[in-house]
Chain A
Amino acid sequence: GAVVSQHPSWVICKSGTSVKIECRSLDFQATTMFWYRQFPKQSLMLMATSNEGSKATYEQGVEKDKFLINHASLTLSTLTVTSAHPEDSSFYICSAPVRGSGRNEQFFGPGTRLTVL
């Protein structure tokens, strides 16, 4: 099957610092990846669509300068939370679609829990 990994699985940082989260498709290539945010006991909210070789597409209300997305290769997308604050503490999840050979499905990473002190 298709596997998506995320690193780190959890991170604690001080307010004002930046944190980078990696999302990798391990056994397939992904020209597109999606970044979601999940608050405790709440649903996943799509933050942005990461596009390989071009700029990310952000959902309404998501600050581009706050959440920097880079999709430098067909297997890696990164989300950098810049100048993190306690309200950025959340669970961040990425996904990547697999298409072709009769498949059209998204595969999710295990998530990264960010705690900003």
Chain B
Amino acid sequence: GNSVTQMEGPVTLSEEAFLTINCTYTATGYPSLFWYVQYPGEGLQLLLKATKADDKGSNKGFEATYRKETTSFHLEKGSVQVSDSAVYFCALSEGGAQKLVFGQGTRLTINP
């Protein structure tokens, strides 16, 4: 079946550091890939997405590229801020059903 594996956390960085959170997936077909973010006390929000190979999703300075050859969708940001502290989830969906399969989540803490 489909699955998503994320870099284990927690991850702690200093402000303005470079961020990478690894995500790899297993799927039978050609899934759409997503990064969701969950800020403390809030629901999940879509951060970015990519629907086909080589697509790059980007939002709020975050980027991720759909790499079919390595089945990866790593999340990157060049300079993190304290306000980026949250839990990040990589996810995939296949077909039109929109059912999401999530990775285990990575808790990110940014220190000033």
Residues on B with C-beta less than 8 A from A44 are 44, 89, 100, 102
Contact across chains for B98 and A32 when beta carbons are under 8 A apart? yes
A108 at the interface (CB under 8 A from B): yes
B69 lies within 8 A of chain A by Cβ: no
User: Shortest CB–CB separation between residue B17 and chain A, in angstroms?
Assistant: 23
Contact A4 B43 (CB under 8 A): yes
B12 within 8 A of A: no
Alpha-carbon distance between A111 and B44 when the two chains are bound, in angstroms: 9
Q: How many residues of A contact B (CB 8 A)?
A: 20
Contact A93 B99 (CB under 8 A): no
Q: Is the CB of B89 within 8 A of A110?
A: no
Would A97 and B43 count as touching, CB distance under 8 A? no
B-contact 0/1 string along A96-113, CB 8 Å cutoff: 010000001110111100
A95–B46 CA distance with the chains assembled, in angstroms:
12
If over half of A's interface residues share one DSSP class (helix, strand or loop), that class is named, otherwise mixed; here it is strand
Determine whether the beta carbon of A111 is less than 8 Å from that of B103: no
Q: How far, in angstroms, from A42 to B38 measured CA to CA in the complex? A: 13
Residues from chain A with Cβ under 8 Å of B101 in the complex: 46
- The one of A34, A42, A110 in contact with B42, judged by C-beta atoms closer than 8 angstroms, is A110
A103 to B44, CA, bound (A): 17
Residues 30-57 of B at the A interface (beta carbon under 8 Å): 36, 41-46, 49
B20 CB within 8 Å of chain A: no
Q: A43-B89, A106-B100 are known contacts; what are 8 more A-B pairs with Cβ within 8 Å? A: A41-B105, A42-B105, A44-B44, A44-B89, A45-B102, A105-B46, A108-B43, A109-B43
A-B contact pairs, 29 of them (CB 8 A): A4-B43, A34-B98, A34-B100, A41-B105, A41-B107, A42-B104, A42-B105, A43-B89, A43-B103, A43-B104, A44-B44, A44-B102, A45-B102, A46-B100, A46-B101, A49-B99, A93-B43, A95-B100, A97-B98, A104-B98, A105-B46, A106-B98, A108-B36, A108-B44, A109-B43, A110-B41, A110-B42, A110-B43, A111-B43
